[in-house]
């Protein structure tokens, strides 16, 4: 099974900050990695797929990069609506999620 | 618009059974592979089952293999998860999700809570 390690587990930031979340896979995913945002009591929402492609309707302050085993999600100019939990997901071999990163207000 | 609505969750004793449903609308259900994913505070998101659009392939996580069965009714546009021999560690919010052709999940339901407790 492919393991996905996401860090950090919690991140404190302020409005306007630039934040970066990392996912590392136990084997190469090529670019088969997605990022989701989840708010309390809600379903996850797709942000990015194929490591770097923004889902339609997602603000351009979100970006993804990486390939192989190391990937990052970057949020520039953090907005109040962005305080949430973020998950990565590999879909190269079955499906595995990272443990999640909670972005909280500093 | 695409909608997925889960139902069927509740409280059940260890060893018991439950069937979850995921009613879909806003898209051609028979064109999409579908998944069940669960979420617990301790273990985060865990993928548990997949059913191909034409039902020719099913996959399960090891933790539920042999106990859970995924199925679909194309006439009712509904996905199901039959859960047998339930254990306390199956307690979670269960989501259904639609698979994009490239295998990531592009739509999710709002979830239904399953609690396994005596």
What pLDDT, in 10s, does the model give residues B42-67?
778 999 999 999 999 999 999 999 99
User: How remote is the C-alpha of A9 from its chain's centroid?
Assistant: 12
Out of A43, A49, A100, name the one closest to residue B109 (CB). Answer: A43
* Radius of gyration of the CA atoms of chain B, in A: 13
Q: What are phi and psi of B83, to 5 degrees?
A: -115, 115
* Residue of B51, B98, B105, B106 to mutate for A, most A C-beta atoms under 10 A: B105
| pLDDT tens-digit series, residues B1-35 | 999 999 999 999 999 999 999 999 999 999 999 99
| pLDDT tens-digit series, residues A18-51 | 999 999 999 999 999 999 999 999 999 999 999 9
Interface contact A43-B95, CB threshold 8 A: yes
**Beta strands at B112-116 and B10-12: parallel, antiparallel or unpaired:** parallel
Interface contact B102-A50, CB threshold 8 A: yes
Interface contact A94-B44, CB threshold 8 A: no
- List chain A residues with CB under 8 Å of B105: 34, 36, 44, 46, 89
Specify whether the CB–CB gap between A94 and B47 falls below 8 A.
yes
Phi-psi region of B53 (alpha: psi -120 to 50; beta: other; left: phi over 0): alpha
């Amino acid at each position: 099974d492919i393991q996905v390690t996401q860090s950090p587990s919690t991140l404190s930031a302020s409005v306007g900050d630039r934040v970066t979340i990392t996912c590392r896979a136990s084997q190469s995913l090529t670019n088969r990695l997605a990022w989701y945002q989840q708010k309390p009591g809600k379903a996850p929402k797709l942000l990015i797929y194929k490591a770097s492609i923004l889902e339609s309707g997602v603000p351009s302050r979100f970006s993804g990069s990486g390939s192989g085993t190391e990937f990052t999600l970057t949020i520039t100019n953090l907005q109040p609506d962005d305080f949430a939990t973020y998950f990565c997901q590999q879909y190269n071999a079955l499906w595995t999620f990272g443990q999640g990163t909670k972005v909280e207000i500093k | 618009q695409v909608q997925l609505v889960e139902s069927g969750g509740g409280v059940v004793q260890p060893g018991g059974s439950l069937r979850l449903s995921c009613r879909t609308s806003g898209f051609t259900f028979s064109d999409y592979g579908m998944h069940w994913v669960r979420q617990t505070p301790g273990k985060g998101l865990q993928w548990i089952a997949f059913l191909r659009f034409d039902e020719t392939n099913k996959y399960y996580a090891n933790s539920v293999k042999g106990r859970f069965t995924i199925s679909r009714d194309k006439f009712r546009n509904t996905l199901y998860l039959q859960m047998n021999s339930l254990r306390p560690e199956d307690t979670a919010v269960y989501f259904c999700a639609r698979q994009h052709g490239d295998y990531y999940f592009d739509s999710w339901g709002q979830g239904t809570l399953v609690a396994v407790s005596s």
